[in-house]
Amino acid sequence: MRKTVQVFYEGRVQGVGFRFTARSVSAGFDVAGYVRNLPDGRVELLASGEAGEVDDFLQALRESTLAGHIDNESTEEIAPPGGLRGFEIRA
């Protein structure tokens, strides 16, 4: 079963390599999506793929060097947007 999630991370998540780490971690999983900084200081991540891959990817992020920077994480399952290819950093 396919799954798409939108995740918002709060904490000291900008200026610490969050987007680059997320993209690097994504290489180990069959997920498509993006990660980007938001003007309010949060980071938005969208990941789409088989449910197990998406869940494992998010868990790997929680266990990565990013863990110490995340104060709060809110996740919502959403309808997949069209046109996702690979996992990218967006401005």
CATH number, domain at 52? 3.30.70.100
Number of independent structural domains in the chain? 1
Phi, psi dihedral angles at 22 (to 5 degrees): -60, -45
Phi, psi dihedral angles at 40 (to 5 degrees): -85, 5
Q: Each residue's pLDDT tens digit in the chain (91 positions)?
A: 999 999 999 999 999 999 999 999 999 999 999 999 999 999 999 999 999 999 999 999 999 999 999 999 999 999 988 888 999 999 8
Catalytic residue among 12, 19, 42, 72: 19
Task: Domain of residue 39: give its range.
Answer: 2-71
Catalytic residue among 23, 37, 42, 90: 37
Is residue 88, in this structure, part of any structural domain at all? Answer: no
Query: What is the structure's pLDDT at 39?
Result: 98
37 belongs to the catalytic site: yes
72 belongs to the catalytic site: no
